[in-house]
Amino acid sequence: MRHGATLWGEENRFAGWGDTPLSETGMKEARKAAATLVRSGLSFDIGYTSCLLRAQQTLDIALDEMQQRDLPVRREWRLNERHYGALQGETRSAMIDRYGNGHVVEWRRSFDAIPPALKDDDPRWQEQLDRLPQIPIADQPRTESMAQAADRVAPLWHEAIRPDLAAGKQLLVVAHTSALRGLIRLIEGLSDKEAADFRIATAIPRVYVMDEDFKPIRIMDLSEGMASSIRYWVTALKPRGIGWI
């Protein structure tokens, strides 16, 4: 599940590794997602989330609503959102004014395009290092492509998530579009183009039932009610050539 709507999202700002909290809307989305999971009869043995506030808040709210507050939770930096470099915290319209719509669209939609990196003297770089000291400096990105963000999830899949599944555990993963793209790329065997085209709406659970070889037998997006359905389809049908949407 992707985290709920955020304050920066509502201001149309790039988030990346910036630590924007959930908005009131995002908190409501998390509670509704939890209710949907309960009605679906799902419960979990382990939770996974990122080192970013918006994903952790979403998982905490969901576990509270599901009365699974004691669930073991792993907070993994490899599940962080794609790093948007020098775009982070900036509005999309301002970045289009600065770099042009074509560049912003390429950075957002191309699987391999890399946004401008944070520089040594950028206060956002030092804030990141101060906020996330548990992440080795060699693993702290200054910017990332979609491909780089997807690839960094692979070790977590092979070393932790897949072994948990092999042990018969039911997992709830709450993270971000790019990290989930990396997981789903592995699970579904997506091509680079299919991975780049992958989208997921905020706080709509996506359920995988897998066989013994970890191949999906069934995939379900649990969208309940008009608001969730609208959010699901708006995300799926967003135009791809406009950088500010």
* Listed residue (7, 5, 1) closest to 20, CA to CA: 7
CA angle 215, 82, 17 (to 5 degrees): 130
Q: Give CA–CA dist 9/149, Å, rounded.
A: 19
- Whether 3 is catalytic is yes
Check if the beta carbon of residue 171 is closer than 8 Å to that of residue 48. yes
**Selection from 149, 153, 172, 177 nearest residue 222 by Cα:** 172
Q: Which candidate in 76, 81, 144, 176 is catalytic?
A: 81
Separation of CA 162 from chain center: 19
- Identity of the amino acid at 5: A
Q: Is 158 assigned a catalytic role? A: no
Locate 59 and state its tokens. 């998982």
Go through 66-88 and write b for each residue having 16 or more CB atoms within 10 A of its CB, e for each that does not.
bebeeeebeebbbbbbbbbbbbb
Residues taking part in catalysis = 3, 81
